[in-house]
Amino acid sequence: MAALAKGLEGIVAKKMDSPYRSGGRSSEWLKVKNVQSADCIVVGYTRGEGNRKDRFGALLLGLYDGENLVYVGRVGTGFTEKTLRELMDTFLPMKTSEKPIEAPDIPPGSTWLRPEIVAEIGYQNLTEDNRFRAARFLRLRSDKTPGECTIDQVKPVTLHARESTLKVHARA
């Protein structure tokens, strides 16, 4: 898609004869967003509220940047009731008091998990502080290991970084 190649957020499709109407939505206009995905490590979750008070509110996500596990945001949508129950059952034996990750924007009172679960997360793009924008849970990935969940899935390698890597390899 040309919009994807240009790095655009998406496109709007509309019926040829439908006029623009300010201030409202119409079934004659359809927004089609560019959605990317990344395999992330579930490092914890926030406390659920309202109808989720006995479950979690959002999953806390990390990716490896070299040897360091870095926080890339949270995801609180895309779950079915069945998935919420199954995930809570999976999380119970994985709870830990050790924080696998540090970031100032992780909500206080979050529950930490051993970094062993991989989830595929759909997202629109990254914010300036490298957090997922418009994140959505897609599925668990039992076929992936946490070590395969690296930051290069979401941050393209720059030419400068590639040149530095090539120089290091050339010296070896």
At 7-28, the pLDDT tens digits run 555 566 667 777 777 776 667 7
For strands 68-75 and 56-65, give the pairing. antiparallel
106 sits in which H/E element: none
Strand positions, DSSP E, the chain: 10-14, 29-33, 36-47, 56-65, 68-75, 95-96, 111-123, 125-126, 132-133, 136-140
pLDDT in tens, 113-130: 999 999 999 998 889 899
Q: What is the pLDDT of residue 18?
A: 74
- Please state the separation of Cα 86 from the chain's center in Å: 20
Q: Which CATH number fits domain 35-152: 2.40.50.140, 3.40.50.300, 3.30.1450.10, 3.30.1330.100?
A: 2.40.50.140
CA angle at residue 158 from 156 to 162, to 5 degrees?
110
Q: Which amino acid is located at 131 in the chain? A: R
Residue 143 — φ and ψ, nearest 5°? -90, 0
pTM of the predicted model, to two decimals? Answer: 0.76
Average pLDDT over residues 67-84: 96
Q: Are 150 and 65 in contact (CB under 8 A)?
A: yes
36-47/111-123 β-pairing: antiparallel
pLDDT computed for residue 162 by the predictor: 43
pLDDT of res. 78: 97
Nearest residue to 61 (alpha-carbon basis) of 93, 100, 33, 10: 100
- Say if residue 168's pLDDT is above 50: no
Q: State the chain's mean pLDDT as an integer.
A: 84
User: What is the per-residue pLDDT across 28-70, written as a single tens digit (0 to 9) for each?
Assistant: 776 555 678 999 999 999 999 999 999 999 999 999 999 999 9
Q: Which amino acid is at 36?
A: Q
Q: Is 103 a residue whose pLDDT tops 70?
A: yes
